[in-house]
């Protein structure tokens, strides 16, 4: 990985977190200012990202951003960046020409989550279980959302290096007697139960259907929010078991990822779903699954786990990077365009 030595990104900087459903924007006037946030934009309301930026940001302020740092769900390759789960295509050269930017950087949304995990204060972290952060040790971010995002975060030479990967697609296997009943009922991807098959919105429904099937009950909930609502009200035993299994599997996978990165700096759970099930994560089963890693249970017991509770975590990670890019080893090679 080669690191761009040209660290200066000129202010004011537009930062944007472009998800499948929502796009969130803010402008940073300078390195010390708080980001000026704009109302969340539904991607479906605009045909192109350029129109969304024009109407949702530029028309609403007299500030003219000189640069943009955008985080997108999907791989950043070439001069035309397609977004997963949304029709927008990012064409940085056209944005420079039509919207007046001088400098555009596009990174992956999970790298932005990793930047947040490196920079958020304790007021935005809900601790689950024991262990203490070891400063300057590696960290891991795991985020069940539309898919299962994973990123490592390595500290070296006074710099945080996000390590984007496809860790959400590792295998997950049965452990308990109940797992052995359920696993044959889980929908697979080409015959495989990958972590993402269980740990995302779609994955929650996969678990729920298998629980209903093996318990001989008709599913009452038809989407993840109905499952979490029924769990919160304790109105549907299958939904309650689904969330218990969801947090157990999340603990199992988070523990594996912590071992891989030797993440003594902590494991950070990101995304909208975990924020809705914090009480379930606070019950012992999440940490039990996380620490159940013989012969290394003692190591895991000392690794802290957190839910990121910041409502705009990716944007806050981008703001930290925009303020002092030199603190972060974000490779911009092939992902930066200048006028
Ligand atoms: N109340 C809820 N409880 C559980 N899951 C939910 C709830 N609301 C939405 N979801 C699920 O969360 C997933 C979306 O996750 P998240 O909100 O983290 O967004 P994302 O993947 O970052 O995408 P985007 O940024 O495009 O909105 C979807 O699968 C959705 O069904």
Q: Which domains does the chain have, with CATH numbers?
A: 13-109+325-338 (3.30.420.40), 121-308 (3.40.367.20)
Mean pLDDT in residue range 142-147: 92
The whole-number pLDDT of residue 5 equals 52
Mean pLDDT of the chain: 95
The pLDDT of residue 56? 96
Cα gap 332→339, rounded to integer Å:
15
Residues 179-205: what's their mean pLDDT?
A: 97
Assembly ipTM:
0.94
Neighbours of 125 (CB within 10 A): 20
Q: What is the mean pLDDT of residues 220-242?
A: 98
pLDDT (mean) for 209-230: 98
Choose which residue among 18, 42, 146 to substitute to test ligand 1 binding: the one with the highest number of ligand atoms within 8 A of its C-beta: 146
**Is the confidence at residue 281, as pLDDT, over 90?**
yes
- Model confidence band, residue 140 (pLDDT cutoffs 50, 70, 90): very high
Confidence of residue 275 (pLDDT cuts 50, 70, 90): very high
Closest ligand 1 atom, residue 145 Cα: 15
> With 70 as the cut, is the pLDDT of residue 335 above it?
yes
Q: Which atom of ligand 1 is nearest the CA belonging to 85?
A: 26
Q: List residues near ligand 1 (CB under 6 A).
A: 19-22, 145-146, 200-201, 223-225, 228, 271-273, 276
Digit-coded pLDDT (tens) for 98-119: 999 999 999 999 999 999 999 9
Of 1-5, 18-22, 152-156, which one has max mean pLDDT?
152-156
Annotated binding site for ATP: 16-21
- Using the mean position of ligand 1's atoms as its centre, give its distance from the Cα of residue 272 in Å: 5
- Say which DSSP state 311 is in: T
Output the CA torsion sign for 185, 188, 194, 196. Answer: negative
Q: Is the pLDDT of residue 192 over 80?
A: yes
Helices 237-261, 284-291: inter-axial angle, 10-degree rounding? 30
Q: How confident is the model at residue 224 (pLDDT cuts 50, 70, 90)?
A: very high
Our separate counts of H helices and E strands in the chain read 13, 15
Spacing, Cα 75 to ligand 1 middle (Å)? 20
Whether 256 shows a pLDDT value over 80: the answer reads: yes
Report the nearest-CA residue for atom 11 of ligand 1: 201
């Amino acid at each position: 990985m080669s690191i761009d030595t040209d660290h200066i990104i000129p202010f004011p900087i537009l930062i944007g977190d472009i998800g499948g459903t929502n796009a969130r924007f803010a402008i940073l006037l300078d390195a010390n200012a708080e980001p000026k946030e704009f109302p969340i934009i539904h991607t479906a309301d605009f045909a192109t990202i350029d129109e969304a930026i024009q109407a949702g940001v530029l028309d609403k302020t007299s500030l003219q951003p000189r640069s943009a740092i955008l985080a997108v769900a999907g791989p950043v390759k070439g001069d035309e960046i397609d977004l997963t789960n949304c029709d927008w295509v990012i064409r940085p050269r056209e944005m420079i020409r039509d919207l007046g930017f001088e400098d555009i950087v596009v990174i992956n949304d999970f790298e932005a989550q990793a930047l947040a995990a490196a920079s958020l204060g304790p007021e935005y972290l809900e601790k689950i279980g024991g262990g203490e952060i070891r400063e300057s040790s590696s960290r891991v971010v795991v985020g069940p959302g539309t898919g299962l995002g994973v990123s490592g975060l390595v500290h070296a030479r006074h710099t945080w290096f996000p390590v984007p990967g496809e860790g959400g697609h590792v295998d997950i296997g049965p452990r308990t007697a109940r797992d052995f009943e359920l696993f044959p009922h889980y929908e697979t991807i080409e015959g495989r139960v990958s972590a993402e098959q269980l740990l995302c919105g779609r994955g929650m429904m996969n678990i729920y259907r298998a629980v209903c099937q093996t318990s001989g009950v008709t599913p009452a909930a038809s989407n993840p929010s109905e499952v979490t609502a029924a769990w919160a009200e304790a109105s549907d035993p299958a939904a309650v078991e689904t969330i218990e299994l969801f947090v157990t599997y999340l603990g199992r996978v988070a523990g594996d990822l912590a071992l891989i990165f030797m993440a003594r700096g902590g494991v950070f759970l990101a995304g909208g779903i975990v924020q809705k099930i914090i009480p379930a994560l606070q019950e012992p089963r999440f940490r039990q699954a996380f620490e159940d890693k013989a012969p290394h249970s003692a190591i895991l017991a000392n690794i802290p786990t957190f839910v990121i509770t910041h409502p705009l975590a990716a944007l806050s990670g981008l703001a930290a990077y925009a303020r002092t890019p030199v603190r972060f080893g974000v490779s911009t090679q092939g992902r930066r365009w200048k006028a």
